[in-house]
Structures are given as C-alpha cells and as structure tokens.
Structure 1
Amino acid sequence: MNGAVAARLPDGRLHLQHGPIDLIIEAFGAPDQVEPAYRQAIERFSDVLPTLVGELALLRRPVGDACPLPRGPVARRMVEAVWPYREVFITPMAAVAGAVADEVIQALCAGRSLDKAYVNNGGDIAIHLSSPHSLRAGIFARALDGAVELTHDQPVRGIATSGWRGRSFSLGIADSATILASTAAAADAAATVIANAINVDHPAVARRPARELDPDSDLLDLPVTVAVGRLPPPLLDQALARGVAEARRLRFCGLIDSAALSLQGRWRIEAPCRGGKKAVQ
C-alpha cells in the first residue's frame, strides 16, 4: 500500500492509516458484502495521500475569483466544498479531512449492498445509510455532550467538527462547532467558517500568527487562537450569537443541514424541525 497501513481492530472495524490520515471504518450488512467493501476501501486508500501531496501547493492557496482546477478526485472534492466561501479567507485544506472520508466511503460502498457504513477521519465522518436504517453519532466538546440520530431519509451524509481545541488551527474561540451537511467535505468547510465566526476580542484570548506555530500552515500569518481563558457571560453569548447567525445563513443557503455550537459550557443549536424535534439534540 505504498506506506499505508491497514489493520482490523479487535471489534472488527477497519483501521487505515497513512501519514496524517487516520481512518476508522465500519460497515454493516451481510458478510459477503462487508468483506469485499473493506477490500475496496483498502485499495482506494493506497493512493489518496500521494495524490494529495502532489497537489499540495495548489491546495494551500486561498481560494479567489478563479476556481482552482486540481487533478485528483479528493482535491476536487475539497475545492468544491470551499468554493461557496471564496469571499472570505479559505483554502481547500479546510475540507481535506471530510473530502478524504467522502472518497473512501464512495469506494467502500461501490457495487455493494450495505445496510449502513461510516468512515471516521479524526471526527470528520462520511456516512452511508440505506432504507430503513439509521445511525447515532455522538457530539463532543470536552466530553460526550449530545448525540444525533440520522435516518436514511434525511439529507445528511456528513458530520464535521471544528474549534480552537481541534487538530487544525482556528481563527475563532469555539470549543466546538459540529456541522451536519450533505457530505463530509461540505460539513468540514462549513465547520471551519462557523467556528471562525464564534469570536470576540478579550485579554483572555491569546492568538499567534499561524506560521509561528507551523511554518507550512495554509493560514500564513493570520492570528490563530492558542488559548481562551474564562470569559464574561455577555461575551460568551455574543460570540455564540455570531456563530448561530452564520450557521443560520448557511442553512438558508442550503450549504448545511444543522449545527451544534459550544463555548465554555454553553450550547446553541441551529437546525430544522423534523416531526416536532430538532435535528441535533
């Protein structure tokens, strides 16, 4: 697999790892469908990282008026996901984790009859659901704080979370912004934008230029959040209100389905009502 590693976990799930990409995959259905699906995922995964590395220079550039034209399918997914946000600073790297998950779940399910499946790329999750199946996913900020029940008839096939405590840098102060969308790449890009919107200036918020922390960062010299101390309640409400406003705008534009936002123990939900219940709880 050209440096990629595939292993079965004790509980039967598939683990794929190559460089910074670390996937947990689980498929449900008849064994004669699940096992070939896993082999398909392994075969597709072997080429994902080398192809991305070959286009890294393009993928680290901010998206502008001219749409980038990458060659690889994962890179194309990344560009498609961030293109709606080109009026703000964003690079295709904002959707890389979700795009990888989308690509692998497509390979996993191709030609297979699976009840349900997921590809979890460090918390950014691509989902497959067939009728009448459902999937329950936990929502984490500092602990398991909630859950969402996804059914086959909902438009959601991707979940992603962003925040200043996450794997990637954030311009905002959100503990977490968990987004549900039609694909994992779309959720990933929107989570970045919404988490950035959850923001206020205060002496308790410490920031540093991204390139001081990582010379290769696609955020260049933008000030990213490195610490958030205790904030006054009115500022917490103000920051969360900004995130809710952005999530609502993206929902009305059809870019996301719903959002769960957290900051220092406070939560805000932006979601459509389905059968009298909100999509995220």
Structure 2
Amino acid sequence: MTRAPQIRLLADGRRLHLQDGPIDLIVEARGNENDVHAAYEAAARRFTGLLDELCSELSLLRQAADPAPSLLQGTVARRMHAAVVPFAVDHFITPMAAVAGAVAEEILGAMVRQGPLERAFVNNGGDIALHLTSGKHFTVGLMDRPDQQSLMQTMIVHADDPTRGVATSGRHGRSFSLGIADAVTVLARTASRADAAATIIANAVDLPGHTAIVRCPAHDLQPDSDLGARLVTRGVGKLSKKEIERALEAGAACARELRAEGLIDGATLRLHGETVVVTTLGIETPRSGTAVYRIAIEGAIHV
C-alpha cells in the first residue's frame, strides 16, 4: 500500500519540503505565482508513490550495471541505469549510485512540464537538479564535508552553462565509499550523471593498503548493501602531506578521464584540508585550508 509522504512548505513560504523514508527533498521554483503553485502541486503528485516504485525493483537496482538493455521498468529506475552504464566498463557500479540525482531530476521534470518557470531546483541531500532560463543563474555552495555545515566557497551556474546537475560523494556522506575523500563535488549535464560520477571519483581518492585507513565489508554494516563484501572506509587516521597529495591525484586522474570523455563538466576533490579542482579549462588548482579558489566551466562558472 502506498504511504502518504510528508509534504509541506518551509517557514520561508518559498521552498517545498518532500520527505518519504530515506528520500528528503528541498524544492524551490521561481516565476509567476500561479505557475509556481502548479509546479509544487505537480512535484507533490509525482513524489507520492515514487519510493514504492523504486522499492519494487530494488533487487535489480542493487545489481552491477550491465550495458545490455535494462530489464528495469520504472522511469526513475531506468534513468539510474542509464546514468551509471558509462562508468560500468571500468568500474563496479550499480544503479543505486545514481538514485538521489535521478529522483531529483524526476521531480524537477514534473515541475517544469507543468508550466513556465524562471528557475527551479530540487535538492536531494546535496544531489541537485537545476532548471534555468535565459539570464538566470544559481549560486551553489561547496561544503568541506557532507556531514558538517562548513561552507568553503560558492560558485555560480549560469543559464548558458552546460551544467544542470551537482552532486557530492565521500566517506562522510549518506552512502558507503570505497575511497577516503572527505568530499568530491561533481558538475555534470544531469544530476543523475553527476551523482554516479561523484561516487566513482570519490572511490578513486584512495591509498590502498595504508595502515591508517580502517575498512570493513559493506554487508557487515548494512546486510542488504549493494556493495556486498567490498571493503568500505570507516576511518582515516593521520596522513602525511605527500600521502594526501597522492590520494587526491589518484582521484584527479579519474576526474580528468571522465572530463575528457564528456561525462562531467568539472569536479572538486577534498581530503584533510587539501583541495584539487579539475575543470574543462584544464585548470587544476590544489589549495590548503579554506582559501578562495576558482571553478570554471567554459569560463562561466566562477567564484
């Protein structure tokens, strides 16, 4: 039986909160008052029952992605599969790696189809789908770690930029990570693609076999984890500056490859106070602390 999700306007009267089980969305639309109201109603309608749709195909969604035609039936489930397939040739990945971004896209799509909006976003725990019309922009904050309210810097996404998805992954997030990154934020054409790519890059930020890194099988922490017996990171001890740089470089190399393949627009990688920025302009800037740095995508996303 379909549950009734929690749906309410936040205290500011502008943003909509949608919550059902593990799915927790913050939604905002700007435009004509009637259009915004209609968009919020469309979001609520599409959100109702969405978790049940996903749960009905959960066994398939937890299997390693296969480039062959998907047996998945749901719109969001198929979007999840399509988002991760480009990464499946060289990496272990399941459609679950794109679930947050795919859900955000689905709700945003329902809103935009309802009527004209100047701009809108759906934020699913830090994985964000964006809608922009000409001349509009979003300012997006970058967090030092997903589990802490520590804003490092902001970036601006303009309407004429290709990016419409932002996602963050790392060992402090809601999902398990095979790597040691505190946070990896990825910009991509879609939220589902950004979500999958952030997972892959965060996994690549690593120092295999290092004694300061505590790992355990994923199924010991969550019996039904799609990662099974794969070792996930539970703690990272003291690392030298060179070790931090080596781990970040491993992740940056992965990000460069994905950028060259057109799978991402850019990424920032964060570990123990050090940051590396990978952009389509080829500018890669390691920084310490919370110093200001620049993210550029076709020269248009910047601090």
- Which interval holds the TM-score relative to the shorter structure? over 0.9
**What is the aligned counterpart of 1:172 among 170, 179, 182?**
179
C-alpha deviation, 1:117, in angstroms? 0.6
Q: 2:161 touches 2:300 (CA, 8 Å); kept in 1?
A: no
Aligned to 1:110: 113
Partner of 1:257: 265
Cα RMSD (Å) of the superposition?
1.5
CA contact (8 A) 2:158 2:300 kept: no
Superposed CA deviations along residues 70-113 of structure 1, whole A, max 9, x for unmatched, are 10000011000000111211100000000000000000111311
Within the alignment, does 1:230 sit opposite 2:238 as a pair?
yes
Partner of 1:31: 33
Using the alignment, how far apart are the partners of 1:113 and 1:132 within structure 2?
15
User: Could you tell me whether the CA contact under 8 Å between 1:138 and 1:146 is conserved in 2?
Assistant: yes
Query: What SS does the aligned partner of 1:185 have?
Result: helix
Partner of 1:193: 200
The aligned residue for residue 132 of structure 2 is: 129
The 8 Å contact of residues 78 and 96 in structure 1, kept in 2 or not, is answered as yes
Compute the displacement of 1:2 (Å): 2.8
| 1:218 and 2:226 aligned | yes
Q: Structure 1 residue 18 and structure 2 residue 25: aligned?
A: no
For residues 130 and 159 of structure 1, do their structure 2 counterparts lie closer, same or farther at Cα, with a shift above 3 Å needed?
Answer: same
Mapped partners of 1:135, 1:66: distance in 2? 37
**Paired residue type of 1:136:** T
The structure-2 alpha-carbon separation of the partners of 1:25 and 1:279, relative to structure 1 and needing over 3 Å to count, comes to: same
Structure 1 residues 129 and 213: alpha-carbon distance in aligned structure 2, compared to 1, 3 A threshold: same
Amino acid aligned to 1:226: R
When residues 211 and 151 of structure 1 are mapped into structure 2, their CA distance, relative to the original with a 3 A threshold, is: same
2:55 to 53, 56, 60: 53
Distance change (3 Å), C-alpha of 1:114 and 1:164: same
TM-score, L = length of structure 1: 0.97
SS at 1:135 equivalent: strand
Deviation of residue 275 (structure 1)?
A: 9.0
**Secondary structure of 1:110's aligned partner:** helix
The one-letter amino acid paired with 1:243 is G
Alignment check: 8 A CA contact 2:218 2:232 kept: yes
209 and 275 in structure 1: CA distance in 2 versus 1, 3 angstrom threshold: closer
Match of 1:207 in 2: 215
Counterpart of 1:4 in structure 2 is 5
Aligned residue pairs total 281
Amino acid corresponding to residue 183 of structure 2 in structure 1 = S
Which residue of 2 is the match for residue 94 of structure 1? 97
Q: Is the 8 A contact 1:259 1:280 kept in 2?
A: no
Aligned letter for 1:220?
G
- Quote how far apart the aligned CAs of 1:66 are: 3.0
1:275–1:27 CA distance, 2 compared to 1 (3 A): closer
TM-score by length of 2: 0.90
Distance 1:280 1:221, change over 3 A: farther
Q: Does 1:244 align with 2:263?
A: no
- Give the whole-Å Cα distance in 2 for the aligned partners of 1:23 and 1:64: 29
Amino acid at match of 1:116: R
Q: Percent identity?
A: 49
Moved more, 171-180 or 143-152: 143-152
The alignment partner of 1:179 has SS state of strand
**1:160-184: CA deviations, max 9, x gaps?**
0000011000000000000000110
1:271 touches 1:279 (CA, 8 Å); kept in 2? Answer: no
Q: Using a 3 Å threshold, how does the CA distance of structure 1 residues 280 and 84 change in structure 2: closer, same or farther?
A: farther
